[in-house]
Amino acid sequence: MRETAARYYSDRARQFGATARGVDWNSEHSQALRFGQLLRLTDERDMTSVNDYGCGYGALADYLRQVGRRCRYTGFDISESMIALAIATHDADPRHTFTSDPDTLAAADYTFASGVFNVKQDHPADAWQDYVLATLGTMDRLSERGLAFNMLSTYSDPDKQRHDLFYGAPGFFFDYCKTRFSPHVALLHDYPLYEFTIFVRK
């Protein structure tokens, strides 16, 4: 699954470069809206470092700077083409690190994942969900204070749902995070996209 995802996103990166389209978003506006939801419940005072899991070309690093959140930032992506774009566009800031090697990742205060679980391609939904849960376990281990991720929602209009995308049941993921990772979990499903964000505070 990692390999098919890496191929898919490397193709996007080669085709559209360091743009919202290059990471499969419709617009920079929706990309930033998602970042806002991931950060919505974080506290500036306890966020000195972040891991961006599935960082693409590093747009979250730019967003953090724009909204005045100063912290060390490590971007990780399975697509080497994405990491090459991220390095090429962010090499000036010494607080930024980018890698495609999961073994070099260290724990940070928070780990964020935006859009990482959406495109399952031809994989069966139940197998993809297992893969998502394994990835959430990894994110949990990399997070000292909290983690947040987003996902397309099963509450999306049925006639708009696509076979190649994964739609998660918000209640299932809320329960999973609450029983495995921390008793302090928020489910945000109140913003104008067909998805939800889960924030886990540890």
Residues of this chain that interact with ligand SAM (CB under 6 A) are: 2, 5, 9, 23-24, 31, 53-56, 59, 76-79, 82, 114-116, 135
Q: How far is the CB of 89 from ligand SAM (least distance, A)?
A: 12
Q: Distance of CA 129 to CAs 24, 86, 141, 165, Å?
A: 20, 28, 19, 12
Q: Distance of CA 201 to CAs 15, 36, 104, 119, Å?
A: 37, 16, 24, 26
Q: How far is the CB of 172 from ligand SAM (least distance, A)?
A: 20
61-70, Cβ contacts within 8 angstroms, sequence gap of 24 or more: 61/86, 61/90, 61/93, 61/96, 63/32, 63/35, 64/39, 67/39, 69/39, 69/44, 70/95
Helix axes 2-16, 80-90, angle to 10 degrees: 50
Bridge partner residues of 50 (DSSP): 73, 110
* CB closer to ligand SAM out of 82 and 147: 82
**CA trace torsion 96, 117, 112, 54 (10° rounding):** -10
Q: How far is the CB of 183 from ligand SAM (least distance, A)?
A: 27
* CB closer to ligand SAM out of 39 and 82: 82
* CB closer to ligand SAM out of 127 and 183: 127
Q: How far is the CB of 113 from ligand SAM (least distance, A)?
A: 7
* CB closer to ligand SAM out of 45 and 106: 106
Q: How far is the CB of 68 from ligand SAM (least distance, A)?
A: 19
* CB closer to ligand SAM out of 2 and 40: 2
